[in-house]
Amino acid sequence: MIFVAPEVALLRGFGVPTGPLEEAVDSISRAAPFRQLRTPGGRPMSAQQTNCGDCGWYSDSAGYRYETFDPLTGHPWPPMPEAFRHLAVDAARRAGYAHYDPDTCLLNRYVDGARMGAHRDADERDFTQPIVSVTLGAAATFLWYGEARKGSPVRIRLEPGDVLVWGRSARLGYHGVQPPEGGTRFNLTFRRAR
């Protein structure tokens, strides 16, 4: 494990082999399809999203929030696969968080130049627990801005199976990601939301 910024841990290859995780993404997306959400201002986001776990992150004209039921299907989000939970809890422990207990995982799918602009994950109730972020599929460059959205970010090239963990003083840090380097990239973002 190395720290790429204060309280931002990079665990290279921690999610290898990625095959079982990718199969789980596939089965989640059959029950809760990837879809393009809109920002509260009405702009479509370039990544496509779905969720698993007890609740799921959602955005539309009513704002950013967590939903217990998938608004697209009316059903609860698919349960978090054990392989997901184990990976997230083990990565958090390795990064110094002994009691991580994520209740949701946001899945992002990036195709055709999709990216994620600088933002911070601030819709959760519990900021004492870290974010665990896993790359699957194609590689991409992750951008860590830290306390302010501006300035030149730390650039981290993430390959499939790489895991980032950020918390404590970095929990509300600004971050984004560039488009995948060919092919489709998936990202799993684990959180304690409620």
In terms of Cβ atoms closer than 10 Å to its own Cβ (0-12, 13-18, 19+), residue 98 is: exposed
Q: CB-wise, 100 or 142, nearer to ligand SIN?
A: 142
CA dihedral for 172, 32, 80, 71, sign (positive or negative): positive
At residue 146's C-alpha, the angle toward residues 41 and 111, to 5°, is: 55
* Contact pattern for ligand SIN over residues 80 through 119, marking x by CB under 6 A: ----------------------------x-------x---
**Residue 26 or 75 with smaller CB distance to ligand SIN:** 26
Q: Does 124 bind Fe ion (CB under 5 A)?
A: no
d(CA 140, CA 22): 17
- Residue 178 sits at φ, ψ, to 5 deg, of -85, 165
Is the Cβ of residue 171 or residue 175 nearer to ligand SIN in the bound state?
175
DSSP string across 78-100:
PPPPHHHHHHHHHHHHHTT-TT-
Number of residues forming the site for Fe ion (CB under 5 A): 1
Looking at beta carbons only, is 9 or 177 nearer to ligand SIN? 177
**What does 133 interact with, of ligand SIN, Fe ion, none (CB < 5 to 8 A by kind)?**
ligand SIN
State the minimum distance, in angstroms, from the CB of residue 95 to ligand SIN. 16
Measured from the CB atom, the residue of 121 and 162 that comes closer to Fe ion is 121
- How many residues bind ligand SIN (CB under 6 A)? The answer is 8
What is the SS3 assignment for 26? Answer: helix
121 binds Fe ion (CB under 5 A): yes
CA–CA distance, 187 with 165 (Å, rounded to integer): 13
Q: Which residues bind Fe ion (CB under 5 A)?
A: 121
Question: Residues interacting with ligand SIN, by CB under 6 A?
Answer: 108, 116, 133, 142, 175, 177, 187, 189
